[in-house]
Amino acid sequence: MGKVYIVGAGPGSVDLITVKGLRCLQQADVILYDRLVSKELLSYAKQNAELIFVGKLPKLHNVIQERINQLLVHHAKRGKIVTRLKGGDPFVFGRGAEEAEVLREAGIPFEIVPGITSGIAAPAYAGIPVTHRDFGSSFAIITGHMREGKDEGIDWKGLAESVDTLAIYMGIGNLPYITEQLMKYKRNPTTPVALIEWGTTDHQRVVTGALETIVSIANKEKIQNPSMIIIGEVVNMREKIAWFEECQSTLRETM
């Protein structure tokens, strides 16, 4: 019997995988990796490791997930060390718990290796703290990916009234609905919003606005997924502590 490591690869930058996550990658016989995992990370795999791409496509998530489950069990039962490499953290909208359940039912040993999630890392690279003593003492992580326009039980009223900072994943396609719901439940239309595209990577791009203006700004700037939506007064801190763009600019000047 082999073993499976369910590993969070981090938010995009190769440098942000954990030490343990990197060790799991280096020792694996088989690596199952997602669409948003940096290909540069795969260069750390040992020479004879089998690399299997299992990135999901729209409307095929459940079919592909079932295949992933089968592959994890199959290779572990062949005595292989398997690393399941997921973007961000495996337990934050990553279906890592479902895979762990399957492994437990099959009697296969496994470990969970947490990763840095985009809801914290992307705003940090944009100069936005998700909490701040003066502007935000509460923070919520929310899925913005609703099926067929349904909000899947999200308590928009509670979020609008009670949470200072909202970090919304996979929500660009539903941005009009999200902003509409928050303003419907009396979130101030002037509340600052940041959209962070390809956060922590060399392609990072950040645009800011307010709840009442961010949809038109996103359309004008052609913001695409993968992007994080950050909503709250903490977004204003970007004016003071944005640092990543400065580092990138300095790097370009020295090249």
- The tens digit of pLDDT for each residue in 56-112 reads 765 566 668 999 999 999 999 999 999 999 999 999 999 999 999 999 999 999 999
Q: How many other CB atoms are there within 10 angstroms of residue 222's CB atom? A: 8
Over range 45-65, report the average pLDDT.
82
**From 56, 151, 157, 164, active-site residue:** 56
Q: 177 near 152, Cβ under 8 Å?
A: no
Confidence check: pLDDT of 16 > 70 = yes
What pTM did the predictor assign?
0.93
**From 34, 86, 89, 237, active-site residue:** 34
**From 80, 170, 228, 237, active-site residue:** 170
Residue 128 identity (one-letter amino acid):
I
- The tens digit of pLDDT for each residue in 182-203 reads 999 999 999 999 999 999 999 9
What is the residue whose two structure tokens read 């940096």? 38
The residues, ordered by sequence, that sit 6+ positions from 2 with a Cβ below 8 Å of its Cβ are 29, 75, 76, 77, 78, 79, 80, 81, 82, 108
Closest CA to 206 of 134, 140, 125, 145: 125
Using CA atoms, how far residue 36 sits from 55, 81, 138, 157, 203, in Å, is: 8, 22, 28, 32, 13
- The tens digit of pLDDT for each residue in 124-138 reads 999 999 999 999 999
Q: 207 near 218, Cβ under 8 Å?
A: yes
Q: 12 near 228, Cβ under 8 Å?
A: no
- The tens digit of pLDDT for each residue in 127-182 reads 999 999 999 999 999 999 875 555 568 999 999 999 999 999 999 999 999 999 99
Catalytic residue flag (residue 34): yes
